[in-house]
Structure 1
């Protein structure tokens, strides 16, 4: 009987240790993950989501954990898990930043930057439309499954208890930022081209008829054109963004 109780106690301590260590990485990542870590969600819901992801991952990675031998190793391991979790979450969050940046560029190009959205951070309405549409599209395409696979793979690349290499982590983050801003500029390219054509035509009209107030005539045109272009281009832009996210999940590291 004593041996059985000791065996159960060992299993319980191992389970608690693994679950706690996994929760640190998952919780830090979930704080910045798109859709599941949004500030508009209640804190209880975000905590429940983190616990659910922990329950999914802990059994799969339990064999990779070993009980630390000293309190110093425990502290280093916990700190490493939080750093890794935040890094993993920010790498995905960058793609949401691409949508918001593309919306801001598009709004400024089409004179719609003064129209703000009604929720979250103050940003142009185009940015909010792309933001919520992108999140909805990602969740509909099994974002939770991709995130679970992403976190599971991270334990192979970034094992528990080891602080990530600073240089490698910096290069990974810089490459992610470069990729995101290139994606944002690509998504906003139709609006930039339309703005360039509009301003070029406006300049020609102004040279031909200097007495005409072309700004007052052209402002409604660029605003209406921007809205119509948004309606026509949004599906294509969102599919391009979805393809970029899927490509990242195929080779995240």
Structure 2
């Protein structure tokens, strides 16, 4: 009986140690992952989601987890490495939300709607147009099975950075620069229709002002660009969100690789 209890205690210790390491990485990722990691989500919900994803990921990673070390320094080093890895992988996904925020800000500025602020899923207020794009993108991602893709992304993170291994600074810098570049490129691409419409509007306004100097074209054109911007958002939003979701899920399927 004593031997059986000792074996059970060893098994329980190994399982709890593995669960702790997985929980640390998953918890760090959950703080930044779109939809699940928004500041509007209560902390208890985040904790429950972290535990749920830990139970999903643990069986696949348990065979690769070594026995807990005896030194406190080694334990703290492993815990720190898992937290850093989780923050890194979570930040890469958060950049796609920043792309929507950039697109919304540029679009609002181009269509004279930047002064209209709405609510925000994050801490900083966004123009109303950016808020619509962010909330719509999060809703679309959730409808397309974000939870399943997030679980697969978490499992892939262990192939890229094994348990207890700190991400190499050179690789983090190179991957980070590439993904930040992709984020801004995607944001500008999504805002391109509004920038083009603003350019055509200003050119047309300049021609009218040149032909009729006595006409207050600014007062006449301001309502037109505002209404045109809202109409363009209504027409183009489905296509913009489709492009964004393809890029987002393509990255989750192949992290740091070319998106087909």
Give the deviation of 1:215 after TM superposition: 0.4
Give the deviation of 1:72 after TM superposition: 2.1
Give the 3-state SS of the residue equivalent to 2:36 in structure 1: coil
Q: Is the 8 A contact 2:104 2:131 kept in 1?
A: yes
Residues 101 and 90 of structure 1: is their aligned pair in 2 closer, same or farther, counting only changes over 3 Å? Answer: same
Q: Is the 8 A contact 2:112 2:226 kept in 1?
A: yes
Hey, which bits of structure 1, 4+ residues long, moved more than 3 A?
A: none
Q: Matches of 1:236 and 1:156 in 2, distance apart?
A: 33
Match of 1:118 in 2: 119
Give the 3-state SS of the residue equivalent to 2:33 in structure 1: coil
User: 1:176-195 counterparts in 2 under 5 A?
Assistant: 176-195=179-198
Q: Which TM-score applies when normalising by structure 2?
A: 0.95
Q: Is the 8 A contact 1:91 1:176 kept in 2?
A: yes
Q: Does 1:62 align with 2:65?
A: no
Structure 2 unaligned segments of length 5 or more: list them. Answer: none
Match of 2:11 in 1: 11
Q: Is the 8 A contact 1:73 1:161 kept in 2?
A: no
Match of 1:74 in 2: 75
Q: Which TM-score applies when normalising by structure 1?
A: 0.98
User: 1:1-253 counterparts in 2 under 5 A?
Assistant: 1-69=1-69, 70-120=71-121, 121-253=124-256
Give the deviation of 1:161 after TM superposition: 1.3
Q: Is the 8 A contact 1:100 1:127 kept in 2?
A: yes
Q: How many residues align?
A: 253
Give the deviation of 1:102 after TM superposition: 0.2
Give the deviation of 1:122 after TM superposition: 1.2
